Amino acid sequence: MKRRDFFKSAGLTAVAGLGFPGESVSRAQSASIKKYGVLGGTGLKIGDISFGCGDLSSPSLVARAVDMGVNYFDTAPDYGPSEMTLGKFIKQSPGMRGKMHIASKFCAKGGYPSHLRANDPQSEYISVVEGSLKRMNTDYLDVVFVHAMGEKSRGYEERLFSENMLNAFEKLKKAGKARFLAVSSHGPNRMEELMMKAVKSGHYDIIQPAHNFMKFPNTPEVIKEAGKRNVGVIAMKTLAGAKEMGLDPKGEPFAHAAFKWVLKNPNIAGLIVTISNARDLAHYVEASGQPYNKKSQRTLDRYKLAYSEEYCRTGCGECLSACPDNVNVASVLRQEMYFSDYHQEKRAMESYCAMAPNASNCSACAGAVGAPCEAACPYGLPIRKLMEKANELLSFQT
């Protein structure tokens, strides 16, 4: 019996959404942001729980978040209707823009991912930001991101110090259209190395690494160095896969424990988490300003026991060079996570089908005694089974 199945058989079953059995609806609805952190030298004060807009389609959800004190919103041109939704809210409530910090990305409008490349002209970098401003009915972005550094394909790593990008940002900044430059990474290739280079370069005001209690060996050093250099830090992917959350109906909610673990680091100003509905918004915000304690640790220990053999550690990438067919294992499993755990089915399937090669190539290793990727994985994941599952879920069947 798997560890996960043991917890289930013991009555520790999951519940719908990311809440937990017995949660007080009235208590959650009265939640508000209780702590704000400063993003390094930018001076921006952001709520410790901030709004990831990857699933955003409701202006009223934005209004509710602002009422709760949420003031940082992370969006992108390739996040479906997200920017347009923020724009509708700003148009309906023009006085609210000054209470919001909005971050978008150097991405084209279209299917995810549509990140600009290093050799795209300055005019294209400027154009995509101006498109974001138009869609969001605002004159400026507080933060613009070079997003998803360290993905193995498409030469994304080269964008870190692209002269075209850097020069375009300076022009946008001088024109008052963008205030601060940021970089993010959820790996899988050289995440920690690239984030450290960004911190030390002097070009970036903010970094946004994947960071959670399923620890990455060198990320704490990156965050510490950012603190020394007054570079702001926002954490993402804080839920370590966001798998089943009801591991202990009597314990602390998993999301709260995971958030509190991240936020106990004094160099992290806040975190972003994808918020899809009012229930999740209230539940997440309820964790604001709460201290990490032994109860939190027990909840995270249970999660580790249940899922440590299934969770592909964001930013690891040890298996990438082992695959004879050059399949980006980590990126495939990230899309499976979006499908199964984040419930972003359409986006995950579209992104997966754009990958070449993908997990369909893994059939060549199906009968092997020891697949190279599994031998390379430092966490002992059953990668072949995980990839087979991913391919079944994410492929469009004819």
The per-residue pLDDT for range 138-188, each reduced to its tens digit, is 999 999 999 988 765 556 668 899 999 999 999 999 999 999 999 998 877
Structural contact between residues 379 and 347, judged by C-beta atoms closer than 8 angstroms: no
Return the structure tokens found at 282.
């209230």
Q: 104 has which bridge partners?
A: 144
Query: What pLDDT score does 15 carry?
Result: 32
Angle between helical axes of 345-353 and 383-394 (0-180°, round to 10): 110
In this model, does residue 121 exceed pLDDT 80? yes
Structural contact between residues 42 and 232, judged by C-beta atoms closer than 8 angstroms: yes
CA distances from 274 to 33, 50, 170, 344 (A): 16, 9, 30, 10
HSE-CB at 107 with a 13 A cutoff on CA atoms is 23
**What is the spatial distance between Cα 382 and Cα 87, in angstroms, rounded to a whole number?**
44
Domains detected in the chain: 3-304 (3.20.20.100), 329-394 (no CATH)
**What is the spatial distance between Cα 391 and Cα 349, in angstroms, rounded to a whole number?**
10
Query: What pLDDT score does 248 carry?
Result: 64
Mean of the per-residue pLDDT values for the chain? Answer: 87
Q: Work out the pLDDT band at 343, boundaries 50, 70, 90.
A: confident
How much is the average pLDDT of 82-90?
98
Q: What is the DSSP string of 175-235?
A: TTSEEEEEEEE--SSSHHHHHHHHHHHS--SEEEEB--SS--TTHHHHHHHHHHTT-EEEE
In this model, does residue 18 exceed pLDDT 70? no
**pTM, whole model, 2 decimals?**
0.85
Q: Closest Cα to residue 184, out of 213, 222, 138, 153? A: 222
